[in-house]
């Protein structure tokens, strides 16, 4: 097996150095590894050109830094256009080499077109778990820099499972014992996601005792639900406790114990398991937060906990305090959202709970500085839940003459606060998008502004996208051009701009997007044109199906406001100084719009998962905003819980 010396020298001097531009997993070490394996497989053939095999392996990942998703095509192009390669290989050979490079990726659905393609595809397989984990980490850091550690590990687990698991897409066209053994080792590793995560962190030098504890807790509490809120996974509580301790700046072991504090009490794992995995200090912190034998009565267990807590070191008390804070804050938000104090989920009623939590607080501050931020926060939520503490300035001064309205705002505020807590645990895969449409002069713009302030003041990153056809860009840059088009072409052009506007907004890192008249508003315009006879039915139906699919994908909530036509017209006159006749806004026009909304209710059900039709004829605009916000919040809540479940595979 001889490789042309001139070919080797050219590639080593001119091609190999270019691999420094790739991420660590696709640099020269990987290329030399693939070359060695390719030549090994090539020995199985009598009619293989080893220079061609060497060239294929040398070029196969060359363009990875340019476009990772299409690097096989670009790498093949770089080979095919290389002038020196034309001196080493004839046209037929160059075509085979080009095709082999194009065919080398395991993820491709088609089989390589030649034995050369099968050789490189088989050789381009990792047979070292450590290397696989390192390459995956390097790739993730370069191409997904905004992922947190949980997301990095989750991506690595899914990638390794999908590629090398029992049904993985990575395959070889020749017998390769090393690769088969590697796959068996991978299958063993991915059976335990916690074990995989620990191995991944160890291999990549990112072992974090806090993250390790969180992952252990996630695995331990898998499938459990929050007793007081069955739609939430149990693990939300331990993660909230750990994050709370971290927010106060406590040491890593205390934070880790926060994540683990319910493991011994509520799962199959013992304190010996915790000590073996995390050491004596963390185990002691977890023991302090765990109740004694549950065969004892509730009263006996609580009395024991109250007395033992007094004797504990401060670090143990911190874990217990964070646990109580998280529980009470969740309980308070539930009370506020429902507008009533309901202790029915507890084995003992309000009086018993008040006694227990108050006593625990007293035990926690025994011998300690009660003005520590964590104890002040516990006292504050304790007073709110059991002693009905509230902001008397808001109640008795700001809303002195409007207590019903204040009560509604409290419910809304609680729902928003719960979303803030969920947002601290997980990020939505895309911003939550709310489209507003409906009849003119129904308070839509005011509602949009109210909701913008509501979420913005709550710490959400909000983007407000104005109505496209009233924008300066449309009026000055596009309107004259669009007006000269046919109805069909104009509709497609406007739709294209609105869709681009929405897509650009969705690509931002915002939490929430409020968009004034978007895809579903175009559906209303098209329907009105259909009824008037301005739009052929086949064109309307095609547009309807297309717009619905895109809306379902991008828009999470649709707000449609409408009002009696005379009410809308009166609002228009009273909101401006002009008494001239309206050229566009009149009763007949508004009636047509309202009738279209009624006719399209089934369409809107197909286009979005959640919507609200709101008649503002007799409604106060603030009441309208409250009602709309109160229906949006539960939908957002479900989205956050679903994102959390997906992130932690709950």
**What CA–CA distance (Å, rounded) separates 113 from 96?**
9
What residues act catalytically?
Answer: 265-266
Q: Which residues of 122-151 are buried (b: 16+ CB within 10 A; e: fewer)?
A: bbbbbbebebbbbbbbbbbeeeeeeeebbe
Residue 512's H or E segment, with its range, is strand 512-516
- In order, the DSSP letters of 171-185 are --SS--HHHHHHHHH
**What CA–CA distance (Å, rounded) separates 117 from 640?**
45
Whose tokens are 């809120």? That residue is 229
From the centroid of its chain, how far is CA 499? 22
Residue 433's H or E segment, with its range, is strand 432-438
Residue 562's H or E segment, with its range, is strand 557-562
Residues forming a β-bridge with 225? 233
Q: Which residues of 596-635 are buried (b: 16+ CB within 10 A; e: fewer)?
A: bbeebeebbeebbebbeebbbeebeeeebbbbbbeebbeb
Phi, psi at 646, each rounded to 5°: -70, -40
Query: Which tokens go with 409?
Result: 């705002």
**What CA–CA distance (Å, rounded) separates 549 from 511?**
22
**What CA–CA distance (Å, rounded) separates 254 from 318?**
8
Query: Which tokens go with 137?
Result: 């980490």
Residue 488: HSE in the Cβ half-sphere, 13 Å Cα cutoff? 10
**What CA–CA distance (Å, rounded) separates 97 from 53?**
8
CB 627 within 8 A of CB 598: no
Return the DSSP state at 233.
Answer: B
**What CA–CA distance (Å, rounded) separates 558 from 1?**
68
Residues forming a β-bridge with 14? none
Residues forming a β-bridge with 153? none
């Amino acid at each position: 097996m001889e490789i042309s010396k001139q070919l080797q020298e050219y590639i080593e001097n001119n091609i190999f150095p270019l691999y420094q531009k790739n991420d660590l997993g696709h640099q020269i070490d990987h290329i030399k590894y693939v070359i060695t394996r390719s030549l090994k497989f090539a020995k199985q053939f009598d009619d293989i050109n080893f220079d061609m095999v060497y060239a294929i392996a040398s070029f196969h990942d060359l363009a990875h830094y340019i476009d990772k998703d299409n690097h096989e095509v670009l790498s093949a192009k770089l080979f095919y256009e290389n002038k020196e390669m034309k001196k080493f290989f004839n046209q037929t050979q160059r075509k085979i080499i080009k095709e082999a490079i194009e065919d080398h990726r395991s993820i491709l659905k088609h089989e390589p077109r030649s034995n050369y393609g099968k050789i490189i595809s088989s050789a381009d397989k990792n047979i070292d778990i450590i290397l696989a984990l390192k390459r995956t980490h390097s790739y993730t850091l370069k191409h997904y820099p905004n992922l947190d550690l949980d997301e990095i590990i989750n991506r690595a687990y899914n990638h390794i499972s999908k590629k090398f698991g029992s049904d993985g897409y990575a395959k070889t066209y020749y017998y390769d014992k090393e690769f088969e053994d590697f796959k068996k080792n991978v299958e063993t590793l991915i059976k335990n996601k916690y074990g995989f995560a620990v191995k991944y962190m160890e291999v990549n030098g990112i072992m974090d005792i806090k993250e390790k504890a969180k992952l252990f807790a996630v695995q331990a509490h898998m499938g459990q639900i929050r007793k007081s809120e069955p739609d939430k996974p149990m693990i939300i509580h331990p993660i909230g406790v750990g994050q709370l301790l971290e927010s106060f700046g406590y040491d890593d072991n205390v934070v880790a114990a926060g994540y683990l504090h319910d493991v011994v009490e509520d799962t199959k794992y013992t304190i010996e398991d915790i000590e073996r995995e995390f050491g004596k200090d963390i185990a002691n912190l977890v023991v302090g937060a765990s109740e004694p034998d549950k065969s004892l009565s509730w009263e006996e267990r609580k009395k024991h906990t109250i007395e033992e807590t007094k004797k504990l070191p401060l670090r143990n008390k911190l874990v217990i305090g964070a646990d109580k804070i998280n529980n009470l804050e969740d309980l308070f938000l539930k009370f506020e959202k429902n507008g009533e104090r309901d202790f029915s989920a507890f084995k003992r009623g309000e009086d018993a709970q008040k006694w227990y939590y108050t006593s625990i607080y007293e035990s926690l501050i025994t011998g300690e500085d009660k003005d520590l931020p964590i104890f002040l926060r516990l006292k504050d939520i304790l007073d709110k839940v059991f002693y009905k503490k509230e902001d008397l300035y808001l109640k008795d001064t700001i809303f002195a003459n409007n207590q019903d309205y204040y009560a509604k705002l409290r419910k809304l505020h609680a729902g928003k606060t719960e979303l803030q807590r969920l947002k601290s645990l997980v990020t939505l895969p895309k911003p939550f998008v709310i489209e507003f449409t409906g009849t003119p002069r129904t308070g839509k713009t005011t509602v949009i502004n109210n909701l913008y302030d509501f979420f913005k003041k709550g710490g959400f990153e909000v983007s407000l996208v104005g109505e496209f056809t009233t924008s300066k860009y449309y009026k000055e840059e596009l309107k004259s051009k669009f007006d000269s088009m046919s109805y069909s072409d104009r509709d497609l052009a406007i739709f294209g701009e609105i869709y681009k506007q929405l897509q650009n907004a969705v690509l931002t890192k915002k939490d929430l997007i409020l968009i004034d008249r978007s895809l579903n508003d175009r559906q209303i315009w098209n329907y009105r044109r259909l009824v008037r006879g301005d739009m052929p039915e086949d064109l309307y139906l095609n547009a309807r199906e297309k717009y619905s699919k895109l809306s379902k994908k991008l828009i999470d909530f649709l707000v449609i406001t409408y009002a009696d036509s005379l009410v809308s017209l009166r609002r228009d006159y009273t909101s401006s100084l002009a008494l001239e006749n309206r050229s566009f806004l009149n009763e007949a026009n508004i009636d047509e719009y309202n009738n279209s909304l009624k006719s399209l209710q089934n369409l809107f059900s197909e286009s979005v998962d959640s919507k609200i039709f709101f008649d503002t004829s007799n409604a106060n605009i603030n009441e309208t905003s409250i009602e709309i916000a109160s229906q949006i919040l539960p939908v957002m809540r479900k989205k956050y819980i679903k994102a959390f479940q997906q992130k932690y595979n709950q």
